[in-house]
Structure 1
Amino acid sequence: MKSKLLVGTALILSCLQVQARTMDAIQQSGTLKVGVPGDYAPLAYRNASGALEGYDIDMANALGKSLNLKVDFVITSWPTLSDDLSADKFDVAMGGVTATAKREAEFGLTKPIVANGKIALASCSVAKELPDLEKIDQPKVKVVVNPGGTNQTFVDSHIKKAQIIRVKDNFDNLQALRDKTADIMVTDLIEGDYYQNKEPNVLCMATEKPFSGTESHKVYMVKKDNTKLLESINTWLQGETKSQLAKQWKIRE
């Protein structure tokens, strides 16, 4: 009997943890909680003063305004992003989320936000020597990667001969290229464009086009049962704000 009670209690707790905060509950609270890793320029990152900024930060604030909600940004990480969303630490994940089959199976994904794909961002001193995956995947080449995202998935699947340097986060990836302790990092076309323009002669895109088979798009992600929130976001995305902000942030749509 005791074991049955324990099982029943566990099931009740599980149900409580799984159920998303409903759209009605979000509206009643007056706040939309937006989870961002905050290390992905130009979508969501910290500026020199430590404040969050970027295309998705502006998008989140515009979305909140359209729904008459205050936006509360919650810092997450790529390794914990899915678990944090599942645990209701925030209502929607933004800031560089790539649409994948796994995420689509487990969560609700919005319509495409930005077209994307994987490229190699390199220290400019070696960029011309690494124009394709064959040249990159050589024993003398050092590839830096942080855990938990689609960049790590690509590196683990495709890099077999090159040296892999594993670091804590995306900031460390970029610093390794600046310091020339690594040669390249695999990242998104969006981020490659941004850093090549921001730090000319320091960071260069070694590959201008996405690696074959990596073409993708960025999305916003909610819990599977949060259909009303997903519908609200998709309806809002049909407006002009997305394109207007993309032009402002010089992001290819």
Structure 2
Amino acid sequence: MKIVKRFLAIVSLLVVVLLVGCSTSKSSSSTSSSSSSSGNTAKARTLDEIKESGTIKIGVFSDKKPFGYVDDKGDYQGYDVYFADRLAKDLGVDVKYVAVDPASRVEYLTSAKVDIILANFTVTDERAEQVDFALPYMKVALGVVSPSSQLISSVDDLEGKTLIVGKGTTAETYFEKNYPKVNLLKYDQYSEAYQALLDGRGDALSTDNTEVLAWALENKGYEVGITSLGDTDTIAPAVQKGNTELLDWINNEIKTLGEENFFHKDYEETLEPVYGDATNPDDLVVEGGNVD
């Protein structure tokens, strides 16, 4: 009888342990599920927090000359950087540049790694669902650059060919949607993409027409055979979704800068030395956020 009682006591103890274990497991699972469902969004800094810190973090390209790049001295330069310098100056803070690639721009905002993205960021409906865009400061379309000896002058010329694009770019989206039969070779970095074209790994490269034109002017033997493809889009600063205070400040700043033709001055300093007479600044520059 004692043996039976002892056996039942042991069984009861095991049942209690199992129930506690299941409860703990369920609680852990629930916590994990809740944690994962919250996503990777980190709270963006407010305008006051940025001012108090004395530094604003701005995401820019480090390899997209002449818009955002690092020069031989290790300093950031370019059209976007010239604008970013002015934003920091007028806000009364220092600027910390953070290098981004095309596909990481949204993630760097949602994770609060940067306060603003100023990396030739084309405004699209899809992106506007994930970030908040400020007023535009530039107009662009897509362009295609290729060797002059085997010039690609129409999309039909790309049949059976390989087109190089950057991951997370409007060029990637445009060709996947409208020309799915075009073979795309994708790269994270613009420097990698252009090197692939130079090495002959692709027949042509597509990105913003403003950029392929600048690249072709500095690389003999290459030409922009397709100067404008798709709709004319706009380039704008972006902040984390819901960071209204910072967004409003940027919009007011863009309007104020428009009164002094700031972006034409930006063009003269950073783009005109590259483009020369090859393009009209009014075809690219947007002042005060007003698109003609």
With the shorter chain as reference, the TM-score category is: 0.7 to 0.9
Choose from 246, 254, 263 the match for 1:229. Answer: 246
Q: Deviations over 1:81-116 (max 9, x none)?
A: 211210100100112111010121221101111000
Distance 2:202 2:43 in 1: 43
Give me the whole-angstrom Cα distance separating, in 1, the residues matched to 2:235 and 2:145. 19
Out of 228, 244, 247, the residue aligned to residue 265 of structure 2 is 244
- What residue is the counterpart of 2:77 in the other structure? 53
Separation of aligned partners in 2, 1:45 and 1:171 = 10
Q: CA deviation at 1:134?
A: 1.5
Question: What letter matches 1:90 in structure 2?
Answer: V
Query: 1:30-109 alignment to 2 at 5 Å?
Result: 30-109=54-133
Equivalent residues of 1:110, 1:233 under 8 A apart? yes
Identity %: 23
Q: Name the structure where helix makes up a greater proportion of residues.
A: 2
In structure 2, give the amino acid aligned to 1:206.
G
> Which of the two has higher C-alpha Rg?
2
TM normalised by structure 2 equals 0.75
User: Does residue 170 of the first structure (1) align with residue 187 of the second (2)?
Assistant: no
Write the distance in 2 (CA, Å) between the matches of 1:160 and 1:15.
31
Kindly state the Cα deviation for residue 207 of structure 1 after the two structures are TM-superposed. Answer: 1.0
- Matched length: 245
Match of 1:113 among 105, 126, 137: 137
Is contact 1:33-1:73 (8 Å) kept? yes
Confirm or deny: 8 A CA contact 2:134 2:250 kept in the other structure. Answer: yes
Instruction: Report deviation, 1:35.
Output: 1.0
CA contact (8 A) 1:42 1:190 kept: no
Residue 135 in structure 1 maps to residue 157 in structure 2: yes
**Consecutive aligned runs of 4 or more in structure 1 exceeding 4 Å deviation:** 4-11, 13-17
Q: Which secondary structure does the structure 2 equivalent of 1:27 belong to?
A: helix
- The answer to whether the Cα contact below 8 Å between 2:109 and 2:131 also exists between their aligned partners in 1 is no
Runs of 5+ consecutive residues of structure 2 not aligned to the other structure: 1-22, 273-280, 286-292
Map of 1:157 onto structure 2: 177
AA partner of residue 59 (structure 1): F
| SS of the residue 1:85 aligns to | helix
Q: How much has 1:230 moved relative to structure 2?
A: 1.0
Q: Which residue does 1:144 correspond to in 2?
A: 164
Q: Can you list the C-alpha shifts for 1:148-192, whole angstroms capped at 9, x where unaligned?
A: 222221232244444433334211221222233322111101102
Distance 2:83 2:215 in 1: 21
Relative to the length of structure 1, the TM-score reads 0.86
SS at match of 1:19: coil
Q: Which has the higher contact order (CA 8 A, sep 6+)?
A: 1
C-alpha deviation, 1:126, in angstroms:
1.6
Q: Within 1, Cα distance between the matches of 2:50 and 2:40? A: 16
Superposed displacement of residue 5, structure 1: 11
Q: Is the 8 A contact 1:178 1:203 kept in 2?
A: no
CA deviation string 1:51-86 (max 9, x = no partner): 321111111011100110100011222222211210
* Aligned partner letter, 1:143: L
| Letter of the structure 2 residue corresponding to residue 175 of structure 1 | Q
Point out where structure 1 has 5 or more consecutive residues left out of the alignment.
none
CA distance in 2, matches of 1:61, 1:194: 22
Q: Render the CA deviation track for 1:110-145: whole Å, top value 9, x for unaligned.
A: 111100011111122222xx2111222x11x22122
Matched residues in 1 for 2:52 and 2:199: separation? 49
Shift in CA distance, 166/73, structure 1 to aligned 2, threshold 3 Å: same
